[in-house]
Structure 1
Amino acid sequence: MEIEKLTERINFLYKKSKEEGLTKEELEEQQSLRKIYIERVKTNLRSQLNGIERKGSN
C-alpha cells in the first residue's frame, strides 16, 4: 500500500473512531496500519541519514 493510501485510511479510521467508534476488526486494522506507517517513516529516515556524508572537521 502506498503511503498516501495508508495515511488516508489511518485518517479515515481516526475520524470514524471519534464520530461513531470502531469495530474490533477496525481497531486491529488501525493498529496494524499505524505500525506499518511508523516502520516506513523510520526506514525512510534511516535511508536519508545513511546518505549524508560527514565533512572533515577543520
Structure 2
Amino acid sequence: MMIPTLTRINELARKAKAVGLTEMEQAERTRLRQEYLQTFRGSVNDLLLNATIYDPNGDDVTPDKLKQEQASRQNP
C-alpha cells in the first residue's frame, strides 16, 4: 500500500510545483499524506515493539516502558 500511495503523493507534488492543484487534488494529497504517515508510524511502532537493546557489554538495556508494552502485547 505504501508504494502506490507514495507514488501518487510524488505525482501530486510535481504537479503542484509545475501548474498547481485543483481543490479535489489538494484534498486527495492531504488524505494520501495522512494515510502514508499512519502506515509509516505503525511500521515504526511495530519495529520498536520487536526490538531489544543491548549495551556494548551484551547486557539488555531495553527501557522498562518498552518491556512492559512488549509483555502486554504478548499476553493480551
Letter in 1 for 2:49: N
TM-score by length of 1: 0.89
- What residue in structure 1 maps to residue 46 of structure 2? 47
Does structure 1 residue 35 correspond to structure 2 residue 30?
no
Spell out structure 1 runs of 4+ moving beyond 4 A: none
Query: Whose radius of gyration is greater, 1 or 2?
Result: 2
What's the C-alpha RMSD, in Å, of the aligned pairs? 1.5
Task: Give the length in aligned residue pairs.
Answer: 56
Unaligned runs of 5+ in 2: 54-59, 63-76
Query: Equivalent pairs: percent with the same residue?
Result: 27
Letter in 1 for 2:22: T
The higher relative CO (CA closer than 8 Å, separation ≥ 6) is in 1
TM-score by length of 2: 0.69
- What residue in structure 1 maps to residue 70 of structure 2? none
Unaligned runs of 5+ in 1: none
- What residue in structure 1 maps to residue 17 of structure 2? 18
SS at match of 1:39: helix
1:8-49 Cα offsets, whole Å, 9 max, x none, are 000000000000000000000000000000011100000000
